[in-house]
Amino acid sequence: MINLILFGPPGSGKGTQASYISNLLDVNSISTGDLFRDNLANGTELGKLAQGYMERGEYVPDKVTINMIMGWINEPENNCGFVLDGFPRTIKQAEELDSRLDNEGIDKVVFFDVSFDELVDRLTGRFVCRECQRPYHGIYAPPMKEKTCDSCGGNLYQRDDDKIEVVKNRLKVYEESTGPVLRHYEQENKLQSIDASRSIELVRAELTSLIQRICS
């Protein structure tokens, strides 16, 4: 059994690698976003509680989030291990997770390390078709014709969340809130950083090697 946490800022590529790792290990993975959506869609008590906070524009308390996470972890199909994508996000969540897992614990926390400037380039280069919602990127996946969708000919636009000032603020907030979490796992000798500025294939190769070492 292996329990992993994937950690990294928006644009670091951890979400892309989460499904690969879960398939490699034959375990399930979950992000807090997916977990919230599942609980809301299924009308669970925790989902209704979280929805109330979100509708009021308030932060969902750590206790609600951790109870959702633990409910998922304790499902029978996750008894053989799991991959948490982007959780915990705060030191309180990390400490509560540690105490609730008891002897099982977290085996390794993989941090997807990318420079601030690279993250800004990745996130601000994203565009979406207004008509069919096909995503593009100015550097990594540009359209054949500027500002025009290859699929339907629709106009490409940039979401407000992907504009440079918004992106820079998101990254700064992320760094401030998650820095203590990284130090927490580093002190426990569980933190493993990888250079996520490289291609998907190279990052995947390093992840494969890391997991093989953990499992051996």
Arithmetic mean of pLDDT over the chain: 91
pLDDT in tens, 151-160: 999 999 999 8
Query: 105 — alpha (psi -120 to 50), left (phi > 0) or beta?
Result: left
d(CA 23, CA 189): 26
pLDDT of residue 131: 95
Q: What is the average per-residue pLDDT within 24-51?
A: 90
- Which is more confidently placed, 36 or 1? 36
pTM (2 d.p.): 0.84
The Cβ-side half-sphere exposure at 40, using a 13 Å CA radius, reads 13
Helix (H, G, I), strand (E, B) or coil at 19: helix
**How many H helices and E strands in the chain?**
8, 8
Per the CB < 8 A criterion, the answer to whether 21 and 32 are in contact is no
Instruction: Give 1's pLDDT tier (boundaries 50, 70, 90).
Output: confident
Check if the beta carbon of residue 96 is closer than 8 Å to that of residue 44: no
> Hey, where are the domains in the chain?
2-114+178-215
For the cut 80, the answer to whether the pLDDT of residue 178 exceeds it is yes
Instruction: Work out the average pLDDT over 5-29.
Output: 91
Catalytic residues: 14, 89, 126, 159, 170
pLDDT at residue 103 is higher than 60: no
60: pLDDT confidence band, cut at 50, 70 and 90?
Answer: confident
CATH number of 2-114+178-215: 3.40.50.300
pLDDT score at 184: 94
**Confidence band (pLDDT; 50, 70, 90) for 46?**
very high
* pLDDT given at position 88: 93
Question: Residue 7: helix, strand or coil by DSSP?
Answer: strand
Say how many CA atoms lie within 13 Å of 167 toward its Cβ: 20
